[in-house]
């Protein structure tokens, strides 16, 4: 294929990223010094692999962060069912996503960091891995990588696409470039109708297949730690505030004052770097606190989780899951990790990023919207906290039916390309 660069903004972007490579390298060094990059794997950012390529067909999936990459665990078994000899390469962009995903790694799956979006690094990555297809998930698209994949003749697909009004306005300013980019994809699948409308306005040929997140298998747990914590907690009611932000914590702490004094609040913040702030906030509210690996005493009212990858433990131990992100502009986080472990979900009113998921779960009585601390107290009925698995399974089965056809269509594209 021709190596002539694309015209317009896309071509300018590719040239600029080459010229600005020294600045990119400086930024990586700074992130290393801040602990935001894994020193043992930083070579992956430059397209240097730390695994051999499997000899089997290789399906490459990319997602940017923790929630997005964990959702891919549900799609991998569907693809594997339709192509049993395939291996899967999953890339992501954050250290947190890599750490947690590697603790929940599906069979026949490898993880690498996506290289920086510089032409030479993208080419080195593709020369080593030679994937049979590239599947981009949700919102993140990197123009250099897309161009190099296209020029290598590798089919590209977007799944689980999500685009809110703000993202659409941003991309619409560079509509010409995105019309060209979306035109390079063999298939684009959106989570919902609003996203599909935005993508069509940018020239995409798109279908709606729903969200992947309800398909993900249950988060794993260290059984020894589970047994230890279960003994510590005993029969106390437990509210797990997961993926929390400051506004969610304010609601939970205000509610804790009115709940049964035996109630234990678990706070698992979205960003564990906020731990010091949460400790101050909790002590100011007058609650006794334990942190991290510290023991939970009978007098402990709040336990702060200070490391990622722990929700598989705390969802199993809680009475209710309060999923954060619904009381500020975050617009919600994934409810399905709690639902998969048979826990009912409480959430705030702002859930645009998971609108369809919460609408379905609320209609089934699996989730409940709250708008205040008083709502939380009124909804905290521990006798009715654990889900009947039949309700959960019905919701998941519906999603599997919707997405199985997508899996078949993706593998058909791979097989068609391999045969050509």
Q: Is residue 287 domain-shared with residue 202, that is, in the same domain?
A: no
Q: Is residue 211 domain-shared with residue 275, that is, in the same domain?
A: no
Q: Is residue 211 domain-shared with residue 256, that is, in the same domain?
A: no
Residue 350 lies in a domain: yes
Q: Is residue 208 domain-shared with residue 232, that is, in the same domain?
A: no
Q: Is residue 163 domain-shared with residue 207, that is, in the same domain?
A: yes
Q: Among 216, 233, 249, identify where a domain stops.
A: 216
Q: Please, what's the b/e burial string for 207-238 (b: 16 or more CB within 10 A of its CB; e: otherwise)?
A: ebbbbbbbbbeebebeeeeeeebeebbeebbb
Could you list the residue range(s) of the whole structural domain that residue 328 is in?
Answer: 223-387
pLDDT digits (tens, 9 = 90+) for 291-331: 999 999 999 999 999 998 899 999 999 999 999 999 999 99
Mean pLDDT over 142-168 rounds to: 94
Residue 125 has what pLDDT?
Answer: 98
Q: Is residue 44 domain-shared with residue 84, that is, in the same domain?
A: yes
Q: Among 216, 238, 273, identify where a domain stops.
A: 216
Provide the pLDDT confidence category of residue 384 given band limits of 50, 70 and 90: low
Strands 264-269 and 238-244: parallel
Residue pair 400/215 in contact by the 8 Å Cβ criterion: yes
Q: Is residue 203 domain-shared with residue 249, that is, in the same domain?
A: no
364 or 59, which is more confident? 59
Provide the pLDDT confidence category of residue 5 given band limits of 50, 70 and 90: confident
Provide the pLDDT confidence category of residue 365 given band limits of 50, 70 and 90: confident
CB atoms < 10 A from the CB of 100, how many? 23
Provide the pLDDT confidence category of residue 392 given band limits of 50, 70 and 90: low
Residue 143 lies in a domain: yes
* Three-class secondary structure assignment of the chain: CCCCCCCHHHHHHHHHHHHCHHHHHHHHHHHHHCCCCCHHHHHHHHCCCCCCCCCCCEEEEECCCHHHHHHHHHHHHHHHHHCCCCEEEEEECCHHHHHHHHHCCCCCEEEEECCCCCHHHHHHHHHHHCCCEEEEECCCCCHHHHHHHHHCCCCEEEEEECCCHHHHHHHHCCHHHHHHHHCCCCEEEECCHHHHHHHHHCCCCCEECCCCHHHCCCCCCCHHHHHHHHHHHCCCCEEEEEEECHHHHHHHHHHHCCCCCCCEEEEEECCHHHHHHHHHHHHHCCCCEEECCCCCCCCCCEEECCCCCCHHHHHHHCCEEEECCCCCCCCCCCCHHHHHCCECEEECCCCHHHHHHHHHHHHCCCEEECCCHHHHHHHCCHHHCECCHHHHHHHHHHHHHHHHHHHHHHHHHHHHHHHC
Residue 165 has what pLDDT?
Answer: 87
Average pLDDT, the chain: 92
Total domains in the chain come to 2
Residue 3 has what pLDDT?
Answer: 63
Query: Residue 185's domain is classified under what CATH number?
Result: 3.40.50.11720
Q: With 90 as the cut, is the pLDDT of residue 360 above it?
A: no
Mean pLDDT over 341-353 rounds to: 93
Taking the whole predicted model, whether its pTM rises above 0.75 is answered as yes
User: Looking up tokens 């923790």, which residue turns up?
Assistant: 66
Residue 393 lies in a domain: no
Q: With 70 as the cut, is the pLDDT of residue 44 above it?
A: yes
Residue 214 has what pLDDT?
Answer: 80
Residue 400 lies in a domain: no
List the end-to-end C-alpha distance of the chain, in Å, as a whole number.
15
Q: With 60 as the cut, is the pLDDT of residue 139 above it?
A: yes
CA angle (152, 153, 154) in 5-degree steps: 95
- Lowest mean pLDDT, pick from 123-137, 229-243, 406-420: 406-420
Residue 143 has what pLDDT?
Answer: 95
399 or 266, which is more confident? 266
Q: Is residue 81 domain-shared with residue 178, that is, in the same domain?
A: yes
Residue 412 lies in a domain: no
CA angle (360, 362, 365) in 5-degree steps: 115
Residue 404 lies in a domain: no
Q: Among 169, 185, 216, identify where a domain stops.
A: 216
Q: Is residue 155 domain-shared with residue 234, that is, in the same domain?
A: no
Residue 398 lies in a domain: no
Q: Please, what's the b/e burial string for 384-408 (b: 16 or more CB within 10 A of its CB; e: otherwise)?
A: ebebeeebbeebbeebeeebeebbe
Residue 378 has what pLDDT?
Answer: 92
Mean pLDDT over 160-187 rounds to: 93
Q: With 80 as the cut, is the pLDDT of residue 275 above it?
A: yes
Residue 16 has what pLDDT?
Answer: 94
Q: Is residue 155 domain-shared with residue 237, that is, in the same domain?
A: no
CA-CA-CA-CA dihedral for 121, 122, 128, 129, to nearest 10: 140
Mean pLDDT over 231-236 rounds to: 96
**Of 128-142, 209-223, 388-402, where does the model show the most confidence?**
128-142
pLDDT digits (tens, 9 = 90+) for 74-115: 899 999 999 999 999 999 999 989 998 998 899 999 999 999
Q: Is residue 300 domain-shared with residue 275, that is, in the same domain?
A: yes
Residue 418 lies in a domain: no
Mean pLDDT over 46-71 rounds to: 94
Q: With 70 as the cut, is the pLDDT of residue 177 above it?
A: yes
Q: Is residue 247 domain-shared with residue 275, that is, in the same domain?
A: yes
* 324 dihedral zone (left: phi>0; alpha: psi -120 to 50; beta): beta
Q: With 60 as the cut, is the pLDDT of residue 172 above it?
A: yes
Q: With 70 as the cut, is the pLDDT of residue 50 above it?
A: yes
Query: Residue 334's domain is classified under what CATH number?
Result: 3.40.50.2000
């Amino acid at each position: 294929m021709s190596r002539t660069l694309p015209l317009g903004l896309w071509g300018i972007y590719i040239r600029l990223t080459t010229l600005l490579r020294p600045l990119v390298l400086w930024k990586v060094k700074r992130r290393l010094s801040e602990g935001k990059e894994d020193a043992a794997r930083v070579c992956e950012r430059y397209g240097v692999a730390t695994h051999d390529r499997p000899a089997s067909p290789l399906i490459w999936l990319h997602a940017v962060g923790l929630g997005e990459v964990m959702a891919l665990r549900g799609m991998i078994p569907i693809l594997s069912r339709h192509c049993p000899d395939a291996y899967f390469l999953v890339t992501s962009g954050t250290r947190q996503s890599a750490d947690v995903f590697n603790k929940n790694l599906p069979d026949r799956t490898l993880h690498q960091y996506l290289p920086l979006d510089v032409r030479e690094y993208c080419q080195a990555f593709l020369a080593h891995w030679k994937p049979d297809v590239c599947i981009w998930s949700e919102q993140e698209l990197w123009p250099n990588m897309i161009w190099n994949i296209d020029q290598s003749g590798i089919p590209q697909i977007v799944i689980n696409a999500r685009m809110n009004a703000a993202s659409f306005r941003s991309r619409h300013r560079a509509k010409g470039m995105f019309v060209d980019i979306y035109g390079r994809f063999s298939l684009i699948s959106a989570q919902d109708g609003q996203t599909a409308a935005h993508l069509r306005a940018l020239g995409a040929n798109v279908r709606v297949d729903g969200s992947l997140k309800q398909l993900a298998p249950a988060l794993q747990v260290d059984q020894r730690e589970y047994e230890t914590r279960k003994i510590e907690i005993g029969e106390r009611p437990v509210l797990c505030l997961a993926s929390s932000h400051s506004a969610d914590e304010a609601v939970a702490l205000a509610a804790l004052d009115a709940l049964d004094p035996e109630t234990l609040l678990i706070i698992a913040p979205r960003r564990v770097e906020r731990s010091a702030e949460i400790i101050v906030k909790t002590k100011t509210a007058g609650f006794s606190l334990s942190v991290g690996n510290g023991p939970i005493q009978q007098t402990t009212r709040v336990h702060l989780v200070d490391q990622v990858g722990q929700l598989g433990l705390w969802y199993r131990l809680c009475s209710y899951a309060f999923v954060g992100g619904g009381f500020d502009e975050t617009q919600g986080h994934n409810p399905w990790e709690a639902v998969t472990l048979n826990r009912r979900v409480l959430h705030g009113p702002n859930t645009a990023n998971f609108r369809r998921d919460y609408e379905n779960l609320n209609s089934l009585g699996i989730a409940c919207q709250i708008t205040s601390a008083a709502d939380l107290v009124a909804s905290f009925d521990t006798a009715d906290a654990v889900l009947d698995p039949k309700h959960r399974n019905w919701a998941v089965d519906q999603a599997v039916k919707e997405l199985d056809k997508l899996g078949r269509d993706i593998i058909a594209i791979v097989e068609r390309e391999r045969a050509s």
